[in-house]
Amino acid sequence: MRPLSYTQISLYQSCPLCYKLQYIDGLKPRDKWYFSFGSTLHLCAQYFFKVRVPPPPSLEELLLFYERNWISEGYESAEEEAKYKTYGREMLSKFWGIHRADFRIPVAVERIFYIDIEGVKLRGYLDRVDKLDSGGLSIVDYKTNQELFTQDDLAKNLQLTLYQLAAEQTWHLPVERLTLYHLRSNTPCSCAARDETRLDEARHLVLEVAKNIADGKFPAIESQYCPCDFPEHCPYYRQKIAPLEEETDILRGMAVDEAVEHYVSLQGQIKELESQLEEIKQVIIDFCQAEGLNRVYGREHAITYRLVDKTGFSEGEVRALLEPEGLWHRVLSLDQSQLKQLITDEAVAKDIRHKLEALRQVISSSPRLWVRRLIEEE
């Protein structure tokens, strides 16, 4: 298996099919302006810090490098590109002002790494690694995201965890600080390094993703970001993009689109009928109760009204009776909802919860349909 990267793992987590289309079938996603913009600024930050001896490049040199290395792909129009180019220049000038003042040569800049996690190879690039006065390492990853990162974003960020693993394996020094550097505002958003439990969780996740890939598990998982660049290969969108040939006559002479609309219309009628049924039921119950009747008559039918008791057992009393007789275990069975609660209960030891989670399996599959209104969405 070829080495995995954080980007691949993250894509597999969001949609395994999209991962397969891109990294196994080799389909190329469309160019996007935000990738071009991010890559240009990454190159500039790299250029600024990658000097053998101080000082770093002057502002003029940095801006010249920016112009020469600008990546144009993916912008919708020349105006949009010009707007971002100006914006990037401003960001970079501020970046230069901040980092020129306290410039120190980093331990590594844009450093490629390969690490091995129980036989699974992981590769990536560390944007910047600094040495702290304490002797420990600080990892910085540049981001051009719109929003600033919260402490919660930092705590959940898998990329930083994997980069900590990589840095500790590469330099045999402890990582003490993890930073997502928000380039748009020139704000370093930092947190402390991960503890051993978090590192173990990340290793576990990498192994799980690698195993799923090796086992050929590539289901499509829909999210708010769908459709991706390959809707014609996706079971959720394929029929919309390229309607099936010979699709007429799927249901008593109905085409697919007619069957869909007929299904939704019947569902609506059933809902309406159920609500009418509930309403008339209550009218009859109220009438029987008010008049002290147990039966009311129509022209051809009669309806009987009766209160039906639901019986059950008190757990404490049953247990008190059965346990001394050694029969209590005969009435116990696995409660799936209690088990789900147990898996998320932080009071239960983590390894037990992981082992329980690993036992989860598909016990049955049944076809279901969900209806969405397309017109409103569009």
Minimum CB separation of residue 226 from ligand SF4 in Å reads 3
Minimum CB separation of residue 24 from ligand SF4 in Å reads 13
Kindly state the tokens that stand for 66. Answer: 């920016």
Minimum CB separation of residue 26 from ligand SF4 in Å reads 15
Which residue's CB is nearer to ligand SF4, number 47 or number 230?
230
Q: Find the residue with minimal CB distance to ligand SF4.
A: 234
Which residue's CB is nearer to ligand SF4, number 29 or number 268?
29
Q: Does 17 bind ligand SF4 (CB under 6 A)?
A: yes
Instruction: Tell which residue, 326, 291, 323, has the closest CA to residue 305.
Output: 291
Kindly state the tokens that stand for 310. Answer: 């639901």
Cβ distance 34 to 144 under 8 Å? Answer: yes
Number of residues located near ligand SF4, criterion CB under 6 A: 14
Q: What is the DSSP string of 313-350?
A: --HHHHHHHHGGGT-GGGG----HHHHHHHHH-TTS-H
Q: Does 18 bind ligand SF4 (CB under 6 A)?
A: yes
Minimum CB separation of residue 222 from ligand SF4 in Å reads 4
* Residues whose CB is less than 8 angstroms from the CB of residue 131 and which lie 6 or more positions away in sequence, other chains included: 106, 107, 137, 138
| Positions 210 through 249 that interact with ligand SF4 (CB under 6 A) | 220-222, 226-228, 230-231, 234, 236-237
Kindly state the tokens that stand for 207. Answer: 């192994």
Minimum CB separation of residue 218 from ligand SF4 in Å reads 9
* Residues whose CB is less than 8 angstroms from the CB of residue 285 and which lie 6 or more positions away in sequence, other chains included: 305
Which residue's CB is nearer to ligand SF4, number 27 or number 343?
27
Which residue's CB is nearer to ligand SF4, number 188 or number 227?
227
Burial of 235 (0-12, 13-18, 19+ CB in 10 A): exposed
How many whole angstroms separate alpha carbon 353 and alpha carbon 371?
Answer: 35
Minimum CB separation of residue 223 from ligand SF4 in Å reads 6
The residue ranges that bind ligand SF4 (CB under 6 A) are 15, 17-18, 220-222, 226-228, 230-231, 234, 236-237
